[in-house]
Structures are given as C-alpha cells and as structure tokens.
Structure 1
C-alpha cells in the first residue's frame, strides 16, 4: 500500500517537468461555466443547522472556505457536529485522518487540459465510456465518511497521447483506475481520422471488504464482531457481554445448556451429562454464526475503447465511439456502435450494448461504495431466531447474470437559467429475466417566477435491476435525493437536502426498517461571502 501511495506522489513532479501549462480558461465542475481567475478569489461559505447521520440528529456548524488562484483551487470542509446532549461528535476529530478529511478539494485545471489533478472529494468519476467507472463517487457516505481521493493526468496534444490515474482514497488505495490513450493517425493530417483516439483502461478493487474495519485483526469485521478489540472472541448470541465460547447459557434463558450443544459447559463441569443424566439441560440451543472475511477477493476489470470525433461546430457536434470491457475471471461486454451528439442546449448519447454471461456495466458506479460489500444476515425463526452473519460483495452478483443485448441512451439539457435535465435509460433483454434495466433522472429547476425560491431539484435512479418497477421504488440498486433552496438575503439561503439509498440485510427482497434505509438529511442556513 505504501508503494502505491509513493507512486502517486512521484507522478506529480514527473508530470510537472514533462508538460507545460496553458493559459486557457478553466471550467467550473459544479456550474459548468468557464472562468479565468487571473487574480486570487476568496470565498467563505458554510451551513448552520441540523443534520441526520446514522439515525442521529446533530446541530452542525460547517465552514467551507475556498480560494482560487489562476487554475489552482482549494476548498476546506471544517465541521463541528453537536448531539442533543451538547457533546461534540468525537469521531470527526480523534485522528490524523480526521484532520486530513477537512480538505474538501485541492485541484489544478480540468480533465481536458494539458495537465491537471484533483485531490479530495470526487463526486462523479467516469472513465472511458462508462463500462468500468460510471459516475463513481467517493462521497456517497458524506459527511459521515470523507475519504481523500485523487486523480492526476495529462493530455499531450503535440504527441497525441495522454493518461490518467485515479484512487478513491490516497490513504488506502483500494479502488484504483488508470486510462491511457493515443491518437495514432494524428501525424497523417487526414481530416476526421487524424482525431481518432484509441484507449486502454483498468479498474480494480484490491479489497472489497476494506469498507469494514477489523480492529483486532481476527478476520471478523467490527460491524458484527461483538468484541471488536479482542481477537479471541466475536460472538455473543444473548448479548449478555459474555463471549459465546465462554458462556454456559448461550441463549440467555437462565437454563444450563446441554454439553453436547455447548462444549464450554463440559469444560467447566466435566462429565456433568453423565453424572446428572436427568438434569433439565437446555436442548434448544442455537448460537449465532458469523463468517470470517475472505482476504483474497480482489476484482479487476480491463477495457479497450476508441472515439472518432466527426463534427465539432459551435452549435452542433457528433462523434462515434465503442468500448470493450472484461471482468477478470468473469464475463465481458461491448458498446458498438455508440454515438454522441451535441445540438444547441442538448447532449445525447445512443449505444447498442452486448453483454456476455457474468458481466455488469459500470461496475464502479455511484452506489459502489455501499455495494462493494454489505452485511447480510439470515434469521432462522425455527431455531429461536438464530442469526447467521456474513458479508456479500457486488462481485457475488455476477454469477447469476446471463448474456443480453440492448440499448442505452442518455439526454442532457441545459435550459439556460431556468432548468437542468438529465435522463439515462438502459434496456437489456434475452430469453429470460436478466439484470440490466436502468433508469436514472435528475431535474433541477431555478424557478425565477417564484419569488425567493432559488432552486428545487430531485434525483432518482435504479441501476442494473431485473425490471424497473415504480411500485417498489426502494431496492438495493436505487437512490433518491432532493434539494430545496430558499433565498433569505443576498448572502443567506435556507436549504433542505435529503438523500436515501438501501440495503437488504435479511435478503428477503424487501426494503423496510431503519437498518435497511440509509438516509441523510440536513436543514439549515447556508451562507456565502
């Protein structure tokens, strides 16, 4: 891990020497508007209000100062969360990692520039045409978890080549990506074909279980290890504070367990069953079970792609592209043909997709940080509600995916200062039910006709499901969010934000209860000076 971190650090000075900077304007990633900050720009923003994290409401004092100098941008995220008892949330301030997480971003230029980098929050990372990384976010669990991600890359226009490397978290380097491209026909000077780009990509998760801490290194994650700081114990079926392998009454009913079901009883009272054959032992003993982590579970995806810009005018653009991706030890998928068009306020994509068995597109997508591994448990009611805990990875879904053909399309529309619309749809089909139906939409309205209402937006999506049903909006591959911003004065807004996604802990196909709905909500006064 240290070697990988060192490689990322060494790349930056190497690229600085290898490539000169240009003086073109930079594109703001949030607004999409071009700006050229020739002089330093300072800003102080933040939020005062309430926020919901892991089912607990906190009063938040969040300060987000920003500074922009030329193409450099720096943003901080300094938060102070106070619970109902007046106590500061210590998890945000008890380690050096927490101090580093106050960096929201540090960046230079944009991804289309000769040299660029960004460190910190990465909300929508896409590589190639989306078969490997598609809108991946390392901020899914923000503000509860704030990893420091990074990407760095270069576009050597004079050579017709470039590359980029990516990590979701510079301290862990578990989710990694890389992309390299060349323009082999550029020296020919032949119109159109000289712009052909051929690329190769790789994406990997070196440890899908890395999402969960294992403080004592016993192979059982803290999330279901009842004794996370002791490597010798991990289960406590009756939650009495006594480990199962040192408990003579596993189910807590105050009846001595039969030694044939609980070996610890026989170790404490040797021969008790033979000496007292008529003793009313508990013969209905069903201790919980827990599966240890499989340490060898790396997943790697390789890809090849090309893109051919055909027309690039001010009001109209058209390009053709294709992409192939292969999940190591599993299946492959291809986009061919793919077309992208830009016309006035619209951006459109249309692709024909063909997937083999055991392949899912956009494996590293917006919800991947949640789906890479998840806690699941089986409750056996006939055995007094005994639970069997384990971790399920997204990789495990691949075995049940069958080959399919279908279409993918997306539409983006920027309606001036009034609204922004984005819709994507994927319809994959074969002779039987298969994963591959996707629908994702975002609508942001800036309603000038309603006084003081600055913004109203909603986002909803389902990705790679068997079928899209609006009767069951909540499922493991769905997400919903929204935002309302009301203007109070020139520097202050009242903002409400809400987001939720889901996990099916008991594998019953239904989302219900607080444990299976992960929601975040904040309401407060936002300020910007």
Structure 2
C-alpha cells in the first residue's frame, strides 16, 4: 500500500509540470465489473495518459473488489502485478523509422502477415494482462537504408511468442524506379509454450510438457506505383512450419487517397500448413493448445483472400471486410470490423468486430451454435457519451471452445475523462 501511495503522490505532483509544458494529458476514471472463473468482481481503474511529441505513456491503475467489497490483493503482490499496470509506453508510431512500444497490443502484423497477422495479447483483457514489446528499426535513421528489422515479444514478464523479421533493400544503390525499392525479408517466429493456460489467479500457467513451435519465412515486395494519391505493391511470401508443412501467398495491395486500403491474394498451401498462424484468436487457449496438432488434418489447397478497408480521419470512422477460402467446396471465413467515433454522432460511439469460420452456406451466418466456431469471435462495444467528460460503455465479447461452447464476457464501464 505504501508503494501505491508513493506512486499516486508522484503522479499527482507531476501534473502541474506537464500542464506547464507542451505535454498532452488525459485522465479517465473507469468503474465496471468483470467475471473470472464464474466469480464477479467490481473494478475501479485510474487511467492517466500522457504524450509529448513521439513519446507517450498510458497506465491502468486498477483495483478489484470481491462480492464483500474487499480489495483483491493478488493484483498488487508481485513485480509482475505492478508492471501490468502499464497499458503502453511508446515512441513513434508503426511505420516510422524508429518505433517502439511496451504494453498491450491489439493487432500486431509482421511483414505482409503470412505468419503473424492481427495478433493480440489482449484477447482476455482485463482479466489476463501481458506486457508485450515491439521494436521496428529502419536503417534510414542511421543513413543506411539498406537494412531494417521488425520484432515482437508477447510478454516481457514471461516471453513465449517471439517474432523477428529482417529486411533489406539490396538494389537501392541503383536509383532506378521500382527496382531500387524492392524489399526482401527473412522471418523467424516461435512459441516456446503453446500449451500455456490460464491459472486460477488471473495469471498464466506454464506447461513444462510444451514443445516449441518454430516458423521461418521469406518474402519479396515490389512497389508498382508510388505517389501521394496511390501506393500499390505486389508481394510473394513463403513460410514453413518446421516439422509440418509450407505454403506461399502471392498478392497485390493498394492504398488509395489515404482513405481506402484493399488487397487480393492467391494462396498455395501444402499439406499441414496454415497461414496467419499467430492471429487474433491465438490467445484462445483451446486454439493455441491444439493448433500445432490440428495441422496434421490439413491437406494441400489452392485458395484466395481478399479484403477492403475504409478509414476516415484519425480513428473517426473505419470499416473493414475480409473474405477467404479456396477453390473447392471448403468452408469460407468472413471477417468484419466497424469503428465510429463519438465525434460523428456526438452521444454515441460504436466499435465491433466479428470473425465467422466454417461457412458452407448463407444459413451458417445465422447459426452460432455449431462445433465449427472454435476460430470465430464477436466483439461489441457501445458507448453512451454524456457531454465531453463522461460515458457509459457496454463491452460484450465472445469466443468458443473446441466443443462449440461459448465463452462470453460482459462488462459495464463508467468513465470520466479530464
């Protein structure tokens, strides 16, 4: 408790310093409930958010209370508990020559995404918290633009999932359009504990019987058109899941007028291979624990993937839709997301996402009770905004286990912003 008082004192004493500089400062007070292992807890969260130039920090100093309104001390009794109060500490943004972040991640993409695509370490947040780390470094920052690296670790306090991509622009010295900007890359990703599960105390439980999953990959990117209005490039990626299979994706992506992002890809997958091994649902432990063995059931396929997204402003409005399948009668997968900021409708803001796998006909879209739902997901967030400083939000999330049973989480949050 003395540590908490000291932290609070430092925080509030620092506010005048930030106010007198060019720092941006925000503060949110959250009140809500969460359910973990059938037990309901009340929560209080203090969420300061500071930024200065490219540097930013966000904290989630949260307290949990049981049904008798006694504070749950398990969330404050270890070094990991204190570190998990960090939502993020970042420098720069994705795409900058130097970008780094520690904390929670919603959608991590490595390269073109054949191995890691939209991975999140927040699937069961706030019950389960992981302090991830991402570092992107382009040689341009050292005036040596021939090399660059992307890297990611799922949890600095218990690192299991790690991914690294080294890329090069080997023909840059030619100063010839298209050829000079060709990129080639090498990726290595692993999960050293794929049998990890949730423990009873909102922490993670390692499994000493786990065998490491190793994936390697090569990629090529060729820009066709580069202008302020249109950026279009083609790519070819190859990956191998060691001791299983390999596959290739060839595609074209385009950015149009900084509003529309779209792409089309051809997938050539061998036996025992799947793309996007580390995806948004990888932290669903029924998925993670069985995915490597599940590969044994996959046969070679020739498939396709297409997507389109619309982005207006800085997170004011976004819409995303993706569909993928193969050229046989195999089931399809649909992915969609929508975000509407409160600046559009003033009193309401909305965020939602769905992933529906195992679609064989239109009727499957209305059937959410089959055992083909293991790789499906629904997220819905509806916020009622009262003025500029307060809001009430309903957060509903649902995943499914291997038997098709839903794992639902509902949170009601009240927020005050300053």
Query: SS where residue 139 of structure 1 aligns?
Result: coil
Give yes or no for the alignment of 1:341 onto 2:254.
Answer: yes
What residue number does 2:16 align with? none
Deviations 1:357-391 (A, max 9, x none): 101110110111114667xxxxxxxxxxxxxxxxx
Q: Does 1:192 align with 2:178?
A: yes
1:177-225 CA distance string (max 9 Å, x none): 000000011000011110001001011101112335599xxxxx989xx
In the alignment, is the contact (CA less than 8 A) between 1:319 and 1:340 conserved in 2?
A: yes
- Equivalent residue, structure 1, for 2:321: 423
- Picking from 178, 182, 189, the partner of 2:164 is 178
Q: Give the corresponding residue for 2:9.
A: none
Once the two structures are TM-superposed, the CA of residue 299 in structure 1 deviates from its matched residue by 0.7
Match of 1:520 among 396, 409, 412: 409
Find the counterpart in structure 2 of residue 414 from structure 1.
Answer: 311
Q: Structure 2 regions of 5+ residues with no counterpart?
A: 1-20
TM-score by length of 1: 0.68
Map of 2:338 onto structure 1:
443
1:460 lines up with 2:374 in the alignment: no
* Matches of 1:418 and 1:296, distance apart in 2: 43
Determine the C-alpha separation between the residues in 2 that align with 1:106 and 1:402: 43
2 CA distance for matches of 1:473 and 1:99?
A: 39
Per-residue displacement from partner, 1:245-287 (whole Å, max 9, x unpaired)? Answer: xxxxxxxxxxxxxxxxxxxxxxxxxxxxxxxxxxxxxxxxxxx
Equivalent residue for 1:92?
A: 75
Q: CA deviation at 1:170?
A: 0.8
Aligned to 1:397: 294
Equivalent position of 2:239 in the other structure: 325
Q: Distance in 1 between matches of 2:26 and 2:38?
A: 32
- RMSD over aligned CA atoms reads 2.5
5+ long unaligned stretches in structure 1: 1-37, 216-220, 224-292, 375-391
Partner of 1:252: none
C-alpha distance in structure 2 between counterparts of 1:526 and 1:205, whole Å: 37
C-alpha change, 1:480 and 1:397, in structure 2 (3 Å) is: same
- Secondary structure of the equivalent of 2:293? helix
| Structure 1 residues 434 and 91: CA distance shift in structure 2, 3 A | farther
Please say if 1:484 is aligned against 2:382.
Answer: yes
| Cα pair 1:109 1:117 within 8 Å, conserved | yes
| Counterpart for residue 16 of structure 1 | none
- Give 1 or 2 for the bigger CA radius of gyration: 1
Report deviation, 1:412.
0.5
Distance 1:123 1:520 in 2: 17
Taking the TM superposition and a 5 Å limit, the aligned residue runs for 1:196-345 are: 196-212=182-198, 295-336=209-250, 338-344=251-257, 345=259
Query: 1:458–1:296: structure 2 CA closer, same or farther, 3 Å change rule?
Result: closer
Give me the TM-score of the superposition, normalised by structure 2. Answer: 0.86
Taking the TM superposition and a 5 Å limit, the aligned residue runs for 1:124-143 are: 124-143=107-126
Higher deviation after alignment, 153-162 or 190-199: 153-162
The Cα shift of 1:471 comes to 3.7
Distance 1:358 1:429, change over 3 A: farther
| Greater CA drift, 44-53 or 205-214 | 205-214
What residue in structure 2 maps to residue 11 of structure 1? none
